[in-house]
Amino acid sequence: MAKRIDVKDLNLFYGKFHAVDGVTLSVPPRNVTAFIGPSGCGKSTVLRSLNRMHEVIPGARAEGEVLLDGEDIYASSVDPVSVRRTIGMVFQRPNPFPTMSIRDNVVAGLKLAGVRDKKKLDEVAERALRGANLWAEVKDRLNKPGGGLSGGQQQRLCIARAIAVQPDVLLMDEPCSALDPISTLAIEDLITELKKDYTIVIVTHNMQQAARVSDQTAFFNLLGVGQPGRLIEIDDTEKIFSNPTEKATEDYISGRFG
Partner 1 sequence: MTTTDLQRPATAPAFQHISSGRRAKNMTATVLVSAAFVIAVAPLVWLLWTVLEKGFTHVLTADWWQKSLAGLTGRQEGGGAYHAIYGTLVQGLICAVIAVPIAIMVAIYLVEYGRDSKLAKWITFTVDILSGVPSIVAALFIYALWVTTLGLPRSAFAVSLSLVLLMIPVVVRTTEELLKIVPDELREASYALGIPKWKTIVKIVVPTALSGIITGIMLAVARVMGETAPVLILVGYTQFINYDPFGGNMASLPLFMNSERLTTNEIGEARVWGAAVTLILIITVINLLATVISRLTAVKTK
Min dist CB 223 to partner 1, Å, is 29
- Residue 249, number of CB atoms within 10 A of its CB: 23
Residue 151 engages partner 1 in binding (rule: CB under 8 A): no
Contacting residue, 81, 136, 182, 225, with partner 1 by CB under 8 A = 81
Judged by DSSP in three states, 184 sits in helix
Segment contacting partner 1 (CB under 8 A): 10-18, 29-37, 96-104, 205-213? Answer: 96-104
Beta-carbon contacts of residue 244 (< 8 Å; ≥ 6 apart):
219, 233, 235, 250, 253
Min dist CB 110 to partner 1, Å, is 9
**Whole-angstrom distance, CA of residue 45 vs CA of residue 95:** 19
The DSSP element (H or E) to which 205 belongs, if any, is: none
The DSSP bridge partners found for residue 219 are: 36, 233
Do the beta carbons of residue 248 and residue 232 sit within 8 Å? yes
Strands 87-90 and 169-173: parallel
Shorter beta-carbon distance to partner 1: residue 8 or 85: 85
Interface size with partner 1, residues (CB under 8 A): 31
Shorter beta-carbon distance to partner 1: residue 166 or 227: 166
Residue 53 engages partner 1 in binding (rule: CB under 8 A): yes
Segment contacting partner 1 (CB under 8 A): 19-27, 68-76, 86-94, 116-124? Answer: 86-94
Residue 239 engages partner 1 in binding (rule: CB under 8 A): no
* Rounded (10°) CA dihedral 174, 179, 183, 184: 40
Name the residues that contact partner 1, by CB under 8 A: 51, 53, 56, 58, 81-86, 88-89, 91, 93, 95-99, 108-109, 112-113, 144-145, 147-148, 158, 161-162, 165
